[in-house]
Chain A
Amino acid sequence: MGYEWDFSVVFKNMDLLYLGFLGTLKIGFLSLGLAAALGLILALLRMSGRRWLSVSITVYIEFFRIMPVIALLFWVYYALPIATGLRIDAFTAAVLTLTVQSSAFFAEVYRAGIESIEKSQWEGGKSIGMTSAQLMRRIILPQAVRRMIPPFTERSFELMKGTTIAATIAYGDLLYSALVLSSQLYRPLEIISLVALFYLGMLTLASFFLRRLERRLDAAML
């Protein structure tokens, strides 16, 4: 084929790629934490019983389930600053987008987990005089949380993969660093392939540990 592979360019520029990797982790974990918390607030509000709240939150969840993340990101980065007059940098736009979008999914995970607990559990607790708070804390939540763990980890995994959209608005995540490097050094094959392999390695490892964590939590909660 005559193509001369040159992987040394990747190793010579490890520091840039490393910074990109840190960028990915920053966006990923910050969004994950905020989304998990926001999703919880939304789920609780939804269960509060007020009709207008549950309807509007359902609409919120549906909207973010349908909307492509990148379209949302462009709106947050390009349109929102104009609508609000705020200045929004790439990092904030990416975190805001990922947080809001994932919060919709997490709210669904929480709701589905709690609603999957059979009525008899509620009735049993009530019949021996437990208050709602005691019921939740001692009967419902321990069982519900166990059921929530697989979809929660699945969603977190997807979120980490979603951090790559930040590259489209020039935030220095791993993919962006790879693209910048490729355009400077004219070695897209080696650079992007190795970065792809790196994502593969990291995510496969994460997936492996998440499975183990799921099994441990499952056993512990039995």
Chain B
Amino acid sequence: MIEFEWNFGILVPYWGNFLRGAIVTIELSVIVIFASLLGGIVVGMARYSSNKWLNLPATVFVEIFRNTPVFVQIVWFFYAFPVLIGVQMEGFVAAILGVGLNMTAYTSEIYRAGIQSIHKGQWEAAKAVGMPYMRTMRRIILPQAIRRMIPAFANRIIEGAKATALASAIAVGELLHEGELLAQALYRPLEIYTVIAVLFFVLIYPLALWSYWLERRLRTDEKVTL
């Protein structure tokens, strides 16, 4: 049995690797979060619509991306998709497509449920004063619905940030992958993967704290509104 000694000092000169990885993780997370927050509106409204040409494709999309593991999606975009379209796929892009579309499926459901939770009377009142559909959505429904959706979004954002770590398996240079490379080079997986875990915690915990703060803010605000 090999005697081990914790030796974090050996990692100090490699702080740049960890930083590089953390930056890529943040890049991936920010991109997929914004893409899914925007894309979710489109898909969510399509799901909410009674027009079957919008509703059906949107439903199929959501079911596919929620009922398959996100890792399978990432792998598919990296290995299978390039064969389909004849274009080389970079790991970064494949990861964004996989995690992004997966998150969009979830955020679209959050939007849809939020929109549906708004009292029908709001729609009727808007119709009564002659507001067209889009304007009603934009000025009456969405502003009220989005407040209710915030806790679910905060949760999804945390899940999305965690999912970016899967990109390491397709050689994207995010935090976990940098750790892998370093571990292979230095033969000190114990210290390295411990530091990686701590760094992930440092990166993601603020998101959780922010979501708790948001939930508290919303709960006190609720006493003021209808």
A residues at B contact (CB < 8 Å)? 1, 3, 62-63, 65-72, 74-75, 78-79, 82-83, 85, 161-165, 167-168, 175, 179, 182, 188-189, 191-193, 195-196, 199-200, 203-204, 207
Bound-complex Cα distance A153 to B176 (A): 30
| Residue numbers in B under 8 Å from A72 (CB-CB) | 197
Cβ of B83 and Cβ of A67 under 8 Å apart?
Answer: no
Pick from B9-17, B62-70, B215-223 the stretch touching chain A: B62-70
Mask: chain B, 151-174; 1 = CB below 8 Å from A; 0 = not: 000000010001111101100000
B79 interface contact, C-beta 8 A? yes
Interchain residue pairs A-B with the least CB separation, the first 8: A68-B165, A161-B69, A78-B189, A189-B83, A188-B79, A68-B162, A164-B71, A203-B67
Q: A83-B4, A188-B79 are in contact. Are A66 and B68 (CB under 8 A)?
A: no
Bound-complex Cα distance A192 to B69 (A): 13
Cβ of A66 and Cβ of B201 under 8 Å apart?
Answer: yes
Could you jot down 12 A-B contacts, CB within 8 Å? A3-B83, A65-B158, A67-B162, A68-B166, A70-B166, A70-B169, A74-B189, A78-B190, A85-B1, A167-B71, A189-B80, A199-B72
B residues at A contact (CB < 8 Å)? 1-2, 4, 63-64, 67-73, 75-76, 79-80, 83-84, 86, 158, 162-166, 168-169, 176, 179-180, 183, 189-190, 192-194, 196-197, 200-201, 204-205, 208
Cβ of A71 and Cβ of B176 under 8 Å apart?
Answer: yes
Query: Chain A nearest CB: distance from B204 CB in Å?
Result: 5
Bound-complex Cα distance A145 to B14 (A): 50
| Residue numbers in B under 8 Å from A203 (CB-CB) | 67-68
Cβ of A193 and Cβ of B201 under 8 Å apart?
Answer: no
Most buried by B among A3, A66, A204: A66
Cβ of A78 and Cβ of B183 under 8 Å apart?
Answer: yes
| Residue numbers in B under 8 Å from A163 (CB-CB) | 69
Cβ of B169 and Cβ of A168 under 8 Å apart?
Answer: yes
Cβ of B72 and Cβ of A79 under 8 Å apart?
Answer: no
Q: A175-B75, A193-B76 are in contact. Are A75 and B64 (CB under 8 A)?
A: no
Cβ of A71 and Cβ of B189 under 8 Å apart?
Answer: no
Bound-complex Cα distance A189 to B201 (A): 36
Cβ of A71 and Cβ of B80 under 8 Å apart?
Answer: no
Q: A74-B179, A75-B194, A79-B189 are in contact. Are A189 and B67 (CB under 8 A)?
A: no
Cβ of B194 and Cβ of A70 under 8 Å apart?
Answer: no
Query: Chain A nearest CB: distance from B7 CB in Å?
Result: 11
Cβ of B168 and Cβ of A179 under 8 Å apart?
Answer: no
